Chains A and B, each alone.
Chain A
Amino acid sequence: MRRTYLVSLCLLLEPAAATSSVAQSVDPDNCLLCHQFRGLSRFDRQRDELHVYFVDPSYMHDLAGPHARLACTDCHPREEVRVVPHAPVSRVDCTRTCHIAGASGVMTTFSHAGVAEALRGGVHDPAIMRGLPLSEGPLLAQDQSACLYCHDEPVFRGIERALPQLARFGDDALARCTTCHKDQLGVDVAYALKHVAARLQPSRSTLDVAQVCAVCHSDPAFHAEPGRHDAVASYMRTFHGKAALLGDESTASCISCHASGNRDVHAMLAHTDPASPTHTDRLPTTCSTIACHPGASPSLADTGVHLDLAASRGTIEYLLAAAFILLTTLTFGPSAILAVLELVQLVAGRESPRDEHVRELTDRLMARPDGRRRLVRFTVPQRIQHWILAGLFVLLVLTGFPLKFADQGWSAWLIRGFGGLAAARALHHWAGILLVLGFLSHMMHTMLLVVRRSRRPGLDGRPTGMLASLLALPMWMTLDDLRKLRHLLAYLFFLRSDRPKFGRFALKEKFEYIGVFWGTMILGVTGMILWGEQTASHLMSGRVFNLAAIAHTYEAFLALVHVGILHTYNVMLSPHVFPLSPATITGTTPPGELIEGHAAFVEDAARELGLHPHEEGGAP
């Protein structure tokens, strides 16, 4: 182990020395004598320009990038910089031919002239770039290389992603290499390893690529031009962009589509060009490449990769989103208002005249074992189902919402906590499956109950029947519930003095139950469509994925706000139950909750047990 540390240190400290016969001397002109100082700079106050002449010496010392073994004079003509202090230097010409040592130490000539050739005729032709309207004026001075629009000093990415095995045992592996390659078979092994590992992966992370493209494509002046839109912003709202924000490298970057099929990224074409991989005719092929969605049908290409709802007014996607917002307004909104109005009663110190009577009955019932049993509102299987649902809900929220709010710091923190986006997604998918299975088992349990009850004799002695048993389930919203709602509103608005009496399940509990019912179905179906996008693409149009994504995200948001705000208030924060109602744990509903929300339930129990108001003691 100790040897490993040492080898690692030697390679870290003197990468060039490890293969001295082939390494180029770092900084042969000794330019770093001055340029290694960060303060070697000046500030032009009139132009508000900072001129930094600093060159990070660690770039060369650590052989941090493909340009690390170049001499400064390979880019800045020697005749211009050999006099100190330097006169203004001319534009760096990246297409000039420089001299570089190959891995075996043989000097060879190299030039980026081919890149310049590839750029010509593409959308990123320097002539086009220099004419772009940008909100803060031209990005580059006329004497700067056009390469700077997209590039700065290139850095090798770490070997961990491309060569994880070597990263783990790399020190020993390199030590073995240098035994021969240091002197006799000259190869700069440390540099070669970095270089090869860097080339086995994208040269930039997905997010870094988006940053590069956003310089122009997210500039307000740029996309204010007719026919343009903020393509990076709309990309960042899709799954691909959000995954990039959360550090996922397997997701599609701008380059994945716009330079698909090993096309030279420098030769990128407009999507209107028939040769472009994003042209309408070629997009299906682009999406279904082996690297992306190999099993997908061409219809997948109809999915909106740059869907911006605000800019899509009148489309079915926009209408669906609007419908969900309306649904949220009409469901969550009234519930929130009711909760606030209930709190207003507390602030006003108001009590219903019947509260004292219900309190007395509750106390007397609670004093008797059979009374306490009668006041249990949730059976043990129901309590177990509730907590399984709660656990899955929390897990789904924690693994799903970071994707919705991917640009927030807490999202990245959470995803890291789950071990990365892939792990979080796997958890999300399986939690979703369990939720759907739980939902189905609840339905089966309910149906079995209905069947059993349908066989029981009714008042007339005949079996109750399926329909009657079904309608007798306690969670149905009935006309009586609507009458009680009207009563409740009158009470909350101070138009009546007494509160309505609810039974075992109050109106808001029925409402929440129905919400879970429809929510699980919507989230389950849309979630499975999105999860199995390749299979689903054979069954439906790509636009269905847009709709599924919209329905999934808005329904999940509705569920979150309802549970996060209102359910949390009802079962934890409400003064009647604070800090937590044990109704779904031990089965005991707190007296305050019974008095306010389940008076009819208490009175029924009292009646069944033969208790009467103002009666001392209890009936045996």
Chain B
Amino acid sequence: MSGSSRGRAIRWLGALGRAGRAAGKRAYALALIGVIGYSSFFAFRYLVYTLMLPAEAPAQVTQLPRRLDSRVLETDRAAWAGLRTAEHARAPLSHYHRLDTWIQPDRANNCTTSGCHPPLPHAERKEVRAFLNMHATSMHCGVCHMQTNEQPLNLAWYDPATGASRGVPAVLEAYAKLLSIEDQPGGYDEDARRVLVDLLRRAAVEAQDGAILITLADHLRRLSPEAVETADVLAGARAVLPRFFRGEYGAKLALRAAGTEAPILAHPGVESEIERYRATAGAMTDAERKDLVDRLHSLRRTEALKCSDCHADGGIVDFTAAGYPPQRVRELTGTIVARMIQHISDGSPFYLPEFLTAPGTGEPETGEGSAP
């Protein structure tokens, strides 16, 4: 390149740089006009509103769910400003018992996210509908309603937020760990402590309201395995953990697809059919609608499982394989619960004092509930 060409190139680059700087300066000035204009407008609007518009109580005061309706069922609790700001969040107005958390939403269950079925789907049989809905927090509809020839059922835990397959809920694992420590002299060492503390912390998160589990974890973290107090804290943990066997594990059970780890969360190939059903169901004949509904539920069992199919010794759910600790398995399949369930599923009423009293003791049975 000759000297004059190089000089031209340098001049050209210099001019380009100056033009770029000038353009940048203008763009910056333009952005500042926007910032000043917007903030000034915002300030004036605020002033005028304070004078012209009647005072309104802020969301922290007014935004309490007024009634228990579908909004409560579908809205994340954090969305209600009034509940966040209250020291002890009120239950939705007109409801007496405290409801510090809602039912964990299942964003992966196609039966409900499709809009076809509500999250608490059982509504028909008055005697059993609430009991059946009790299972909706811990298992996918397909466990009872999808056809499979496998026995026991091939089940997988899944994350209701993502639908991804996951391991056994931490609270069940923690309890199993505690029992194994109890059974094994010297079983509580540094490794066991680390595992247990981690499991308790995870369990607290998954249970939504597990502050006491955090307290337990903190105590165990501080106490050495050899400390004399450790045994008492472990005993306390064994007493507390069953309180969290309430079907809210941050995980749910679903049928497992053959040969994979993946849970079955929807009938196969139904997306477009669901859209069609929702768009045109009203205009269909009964026969057409039935035909389409049958196609939408290609995996449906002809008859749903009964309570006693699972809640009995030798039932079709292998609770142990699903990760439930032995004591919990006994509670789920034991005689008392099985008898109660039999009554409920038969629609025959039973009476509190006689039924829920442990045989021969005259004392109330202290077992936990029956949903997994």
Instruction: State the A residues within 8 Å of B (CB).
Output: 2-3, 5-6, 9-10, 12-14, 25, 27-34, 36-45, 48-59, 61-62, 78, 81-85, 92, 136, 139-141, 144-145, 148, 151-153, 155, 157, 204-205, 207-208, 210-212, 214-215, 218, 230, 232-234, 236-237, 245, 308-311, 318, 321-322, 325, 328-329, 332-333, 336, 339-340, 343-344, 346-347, 349, 406-407, 554, 557, 561, 564-566, 569, 573-575
Contacts and interface: CB of A to CB of B under 8 A. Distances in A.
A310 B349 contact: no
B60 interface: yes
B314 interface: no
Given A10-B232, A30-B364, A5 B96 contact: no
B54 A233 contact: yes
Given A29-B364, A309-B50, 7 more contacts: A42-B122, A50-B120, A51-B130, A245-B60, A325-B47, A346-B26, A566-B36
Given A157-B87, A321-B51, A48 B70 contact: yes
- Range class of the B interface residue count: 35 or more
Nearest to B355: A84
A34 B24 CA distance: 69
Nearest to A217: B57
B30 interface: yes
B344 A42 contact: no
B55 A343 contact: no
A9 B51 contact: no
B227 A2 contact: yes
B57 A218 contact: yes
9 contacts: A36-B368, A37-B371, A43-B118, A85-B127, A85-B128, A236-B57, A310-B52, A343-B32, A349-B26
Given A43-B120, A208-B86, A210-B61, A82 B364 contact: no
Interface in B77-94: 82, 85-88, 90-91, 93-94
B97 A55 contact: yes
Contacts of A215: 64, 66, 93
B75 to A, nearest CB: 11
Contacts of B119: 43
B57 A13 contact: no
Interface stretch (B6-14, B186-194, B212-220, B286-294): B212-220
Nearest to B27: A347
Interface of B: 22, 25-26, 28-30, 32-33, 35-37, 39-40, 43-44, 46-48, 50-62, 64, 66-70, 72-73, 82, 85-88, 90-91, 93-103, 118-120, 122-123, 126-131, 133-138, 209, 212, 215-216, 219, 222-223, 227, 229, 232-233, 236, 239-240, 243, 246-248, 340, 343-344, 349-353, 355-356, 364-371
Contacts of B118: 43, 45
B246 to A, nearest CB: 5
Given A43-B119, A45-B118, A332-B40, A37 B32 contact: no
Contacts of A140: 94
Contact of A50 (B66, B72, B85, B215): B72
B87 A205 contact: yes
A43 B344 CA distance: 19
Contacts of B64: 211, 215
Contacts of B58: 236, 245, 406-407
What 5 A-B pairs are tightest by C-beta distance, nearest first?
Answer: A407-B58, A39-B137, A346-B29, A50-B68, A233-B57
A52 B95 contact: yes
B32 A9 contact: no
B283 to A, nearest CB: 21
Contacts of A136: 66-67
Nearest to A234: B55
Given A233-B54, A343-B32, A211 B82 contact: yes
A144 B96 CA distance: 10
B339 to A, nearest CB: 12
Between B54, B138, B350, the greatest number of chain A beta carbons within 10 A of the residue's beta carbon is seen for: B54
A218 B29 contact: no
B51 A309 contact: yes
Nearest to A147: B96
B123 A207 contact: no
Contact of A557 (B47, B127, B222, B364): B47
